[in-house]
């Protein structure tokens, strides 16, 4: 069993490449949640949504039970689950036919709905509205923001077609990517090059096919990710066992290599590149970097050979390759423990670095700083954070005492990170809930790396108490960044307040009590004026003890110390004056400041709107 010693949040300045940079401490777990039913539930993707919550996707064989509100339709179904920003489930939805559906990717769309991508072998049944083309076909489902189906579409040829990635494109349509062994048939307009080939399908915003392309060689080529590039084209990311020939311009290094294909916006190939060592290298994800190049991530069994510049740490290691805009390798790095370490995803972080996600059964050793939670050959989530040159800043392991497999890891809008996959461990180590059934969805939320200090603002005046604070990544309710309040129990006392002489209080927090002023009346004892009605809604009346001739100025100050309303009226020897209150005032407590010539009076007023 592991022991974790998390770093405290420290701000450390280090000299790096002759520049001062802020070193980041490792985040800590904020919370984790398990979601599932009585059967097997396998999660492969998680995305943060526009409302700050999360959408989870995968496949399920569970009926109504646990967190699942709908029965299974076939053997395996698509299952998505929506949570709020704190991981509390909001809703879930099941989609499928009478056989097998495997959901592998989800993206929130520009209309706040969702596009689901996977593959199916079902005929017309359940939610599947089109017949099978052969064996497995691509199947995409478009839903609204609440998970209600708007349309579905399937694409395939006469054999097996497995979708692995989907994105919404800049024109509002979709690009589907996967691998296919189908010949020229059905929706496939090009014959197979040999074994499985990369196969992409471009649709419009309603899921109607616009074009498709196949890329491959004589062997096995598996497309795992598609990304749109800065020039409007696409980069196709996957693994190849083919040699030179077909769409391959380079010979293989070993048993399998990384293979990327750059195409333009219409699918025409521009170039391809491959990277590998003398054994097996599997490319699973990648992205375009800020400089127009590409960062590729997968795992490798190769030692130092071919394009791989570092020896293996264990059996399989994470292997990262950075290229320029033309696919020419710039550098590569390996990260691994002493056993088996697998890669699943890469994303950019707000500081320009990278977050790599995977799963590992290695204990602490080599590049891994924390032990695996379970016994040998059971896996935990493993995440690594690097700078933009691939230098590791921290790594973390999360799991229970059985099996956890990460599907994706991403930064979140609060500066933290979300990890999502599936687990079958009971409550143990970092996992706080028992399994519902066999495997369940499991997400882990991490804090940010460099939290800010926020101060308690009990009186709601916008100024906090320097002695009461939290270190966190986002502003907690009831806390503010300012720490200059001298009395956090009275919202009329803060650095921007007016000093009221005679009340024995330092109202403006300047360290002085009752600074001398001319003709300033005591707020608590002077009965020279009365203000009513109190509470007030549309107007207030200022009644003076004696008749007054001259200008009367009435001001309202809110609980933040802001002057939100002022009005000047002329009193010609009268002892009473009505002030009309503006419609924009909100319900609350206000300080009323009344200037009668050189005299100033203060009263408290409740406004009810």
Assign 538 to helix, strand or coil.
Answer: coil
Distance CA(196)–CA(181), nearest Å, equals 4
Distance CA(15)–CA(330), nearest Å, equals 24
What pLDDT is attached to residue 514?
61
Distance CA(529)–CA(539), nearest Å, equals 16
DSSP string computed for 411-450 = E-TTS-EEEEEEE---SBTTB-S--SSSSEEEEEEE--SS
Q: Would you call the peptide bond into 558 cis, given omega within 30 degrees of 0 as the criterion?
A: no
pLDDT-above-70 percentage for the chain:
93
Assign 197 to helix, strand or coil.
Answer: strand
Round the average pLDDT of the chain to a whole number and report it: 90
What pLDDT is attached to residue 526?
58
What are the φ/ψ torsions at residue 397 (nearest 5 degrees)? -120, 135
Q: Provide the greatest CA pair distance for the chain.
A: 103
CA distances from 456 to 182, 486, 489, 492 (A): 63, 12, 11, 16
The whole-angstrom distance between residue 426's C-alpha and the CA centroid of its chain comes to: 26
Written as six digits, the tokens of 558 are 């809110």
Q: State mean pLDDT over 226-247.
A: 97
DSSP string computed for 320-336 = EEEE-TTS-EEEEEEE-
β-pairing verdict for 588-596 and 317-323: unpaired
pLDDT-above-90 percentage for the chain:
75
Domain range 24-451, CATH class: mainly beta
Written as six digits, the tokens of 215 are 């890329």
Distance CA(381)–CA(441), nearest Å, equals 13
| 95, 118 Cβ separation under 8 angstroms | no
| 441, 83 Cβ separation under 8 angstroms | no
Q: Per mean pLDDT, which range of 121-125, 239-243, 471-475, 504-508 is the poorest?
A: 471-475
User: Which of 336, 340, 352, 449 has its CA nearest to residue 405?
Assistant: 340
Which residues of the chain are in CATH 2.60.40.3080 domains? 529-607
| 430, 14 Cβ separation under 8 angstroms | no
Q: Which residues pair with 556 in a beta bridge?
A: 565, 592
Distance CA(72)–CA(563), nearest Å, equals 61
What are the φ/ψ torsions at residue 208 (nearest 5 degrees)? -85, 130
User: Which of 360, 302, 309 has its CA nearest to residue 332?
Assistant: 309
| 538, 581 Cβ separation under 8 angstroms | yes
pTM above 0.85, yes or no: no
- Asked if the model's pLDDT at residue 531 lies above 60, the reply is yes
DSSP state of 177: E
pLDDT tens, residue by residue, 561-578: 788 999 998 877 777 888
How many Cβ atoms are within 10 Å of 218's Cβ, its own excluded?
16
Q: State mean pLDDT over 399-414.
A: 96
What pLDDT is attached to residue 113?
98
Q: Which residues of 479-488 are buried (b: 16+ CB within 10 A; e: fewer)?
A: bbeebebbbb
Query: What angle is formed at CA 2 by the lines to CA 412 and CA 363, rounded to 5 degrees?
Result: 85
Q: Sheet of 269-275: strands edge to edge?
A: 221-228, 234-240, 257-263, 269-275
pLDDT band at 299 (very low <50, low <70, confident <90, very high): very high
- Asked if the model's pLDDT at residue 518 lies above 70, the reply is no
Q: State mean pLDDT over 157-185.
A: 98
What are the φ/ψ torsions at residue 593 (nearest 5 degrees)? -110, 120
Greater pLDDT, 267 or 19: 267
- Asked if the model's pLDDT at residue 12 lies above 80, the reply is no
| 414, 448 Cβ separation under 8 angstroms | yes
Radius of gyration in angstroms for the set of CA atoms belonging to the chain, rounded to a whole number:
32
Q: The tokens 């499985």 sit on which residue?
A: 196
What pLDDT is attached to residue 3?
36
- Asked if the model's pLDDT at residue 91 lies above 70, the reply is yes
User: Which of 82, 152, 160, 94 has its CA nearest to residue 121?
Assistant: 160
What pLDDT is attached to residue 501?
63
DSSP string computed for 22-34 = EE-PPP-EEEEEE
Which residues of the chain are in CATH 2.120.10.30 domains? 24-451
Q: Sheet of 197-203: strands edge to edge?
A: 161-168, 174-180, 197-203, 209-215
| 483, 451 Cβ separation under 8 angstroms | no
What pLDDT is attached to residue 502?
60
**Start-to-end Cα distance in the chain:** 60
Distance CA(487)–CA(494), nearest Å, equals 7
Greater pLDDT, 422 or 560: 422
What pLDDT is attached to residue 207?
98
| 303, 276 Cβ separation under 8 angstroms | no
User: Which of 230, 246, 143 has its CA nearest to residue 191?
Assistant: 246
What pLDDT is attached to residue 1?
39
Distance CA(543)–CA(440), nearest Å, equals 70
E strand residue ranges, 50-132? 54-60, 77-83, 89-95, 101-108, 114-120
Q: Per mean pLDDT, which range of 118-127, 204-213, 522-531, 550-559 is the poorest?
A: 522-531
| 413, 48 Cβ separation under 8 angstroms | yes
Distance CA(448)–CA(564), nearest Å, equals 37
CATH topology of domain 529-607: Immunoglobulin-like (2.60.40)
For 387, residues 6+ apart whose C-beta sits below 8 A from its C-beta are 351, 352, 353, 393
Distance CA(109)–CA(115), nearest Å, equals 7
Q: Per mean pLDDT, which range of 446-455, 466-475, 538-547 is the poorest?
A: 466-475
């Amino acid at each position: 069993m592991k022991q974790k010693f998390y770093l405290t949040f420290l701000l450390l300045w280090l000299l790096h490449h002759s520049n001062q940079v802020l070193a980041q401490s490792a985040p800590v777990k904020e919370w984790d949640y398990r979601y599932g039913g009585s059967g097997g539930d396998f999660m492969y993707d998680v995305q943060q949504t526009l409302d700050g919550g999360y959408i989870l996707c995968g496949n399920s064989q569970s009926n109504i039970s646990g967190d699942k509100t709908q029965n299974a339709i076939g053997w395996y179904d698509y299952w998505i689950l929506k949570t709020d920003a704190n991981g509390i489930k909001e809703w879930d939805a099941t989609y499928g036919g009478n056989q097998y559906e495997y959901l592998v990717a989800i993206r929130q769309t520009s209309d706040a709905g969702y596009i689901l991508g996977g593959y199916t072998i079902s005929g017309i049944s359940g939610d599947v509205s089109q017949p099978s083309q052969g064996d497995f076909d691509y199947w995409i489902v478009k839903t609204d923001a609440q998970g209600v189906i708007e349309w579905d579409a399937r694409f395939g040829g006469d054999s097996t077609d497995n979708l692995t990635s989907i994105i919404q494109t800049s024109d509002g349509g979709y690009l589907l990517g996967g691998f296919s062994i189908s010949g020229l048939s059905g929706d496939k307009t090009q014959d197979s090059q040999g074994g499985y080939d990369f196969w992409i399908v471009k649709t419009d915003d309603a899921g109607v096919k616009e074009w498709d392309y196949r890329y491959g060689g004589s062997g096995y080529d598996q497309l795992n990710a598609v990304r749109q590039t800065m020039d409007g084209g696409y980069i196709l990311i996957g693994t190849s066992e083919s040699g030179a020939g077909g769409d391959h311009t380079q010979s293989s290094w070993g048993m399998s290599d990384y293979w990327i294909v750059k195409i333009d916006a219409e699918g025409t190939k521009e170039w391809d590149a491959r990277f590998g060592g003398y054994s097996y290298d599997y490319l699973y994800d990648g992205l375009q970097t800020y400089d127009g190049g590409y960062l590729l991530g997968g795992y490798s069994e190769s030692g130092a050979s071919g394009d791989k510049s570092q020896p293996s740490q264990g059996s399989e290691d994470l292997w990262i390759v950075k290229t320029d805009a033309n696919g020419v390798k710039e550098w590569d790095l390996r990260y691994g423990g002493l056993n088996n370490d697998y890669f699943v995803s890469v994303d950019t972080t707000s500081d320009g670095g990278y977050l790599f996600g995977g799963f590992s059964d290695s204990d602490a050793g080599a590049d891994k700083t924390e032990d695996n939670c379970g016994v040998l050959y059971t896996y935990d989530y493993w995440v690594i954070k690097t700078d933009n040159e691939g230098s590791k800043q921290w790594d973390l392991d999360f799991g229970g005492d059985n099996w956890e497999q990460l599907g994706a890891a991403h930064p979140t809008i609060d500066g933290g990170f979300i990890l999502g996959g599936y687990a079958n461990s009971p409550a143990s180590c970092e996992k706080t809930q028992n399994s519902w059934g066999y495997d369940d969805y499991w997400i882990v939320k991490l804090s940010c790396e460099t939290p800010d200090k926020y101060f308690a603002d009990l009186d709601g005046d916008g100024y906090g108490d320097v002695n009461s604070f939290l270190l966190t990544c986002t502003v907690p309710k009831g806390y503010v960044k300012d720490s200059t309040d001298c009395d956090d129990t009275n919202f009329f006392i803060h650095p921007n307040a007016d000093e009221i002489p005679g009340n024995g209080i330092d109202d403006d927090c300047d360290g002085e009590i009752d600074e001398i002023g001319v003709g300033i009346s005591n707020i608590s004892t002077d009965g020279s004026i009365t203000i009513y009605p109190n509470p007030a809604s549309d107007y207030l009346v200022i009644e003076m003890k004696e008749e007054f001739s001259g200008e009367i100025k009435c001001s309202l100050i809110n609980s933040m110390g802001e002057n939100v309303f002022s009005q000047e009226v002329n009193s010609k020897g009268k002892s009473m004056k009505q002030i009309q209150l503006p419609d924009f005032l909100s319900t609350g407590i206000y300080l009323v400041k009344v200037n009668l010539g050189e005299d100033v009076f203060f009263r408290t007023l409740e406004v009810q709107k």
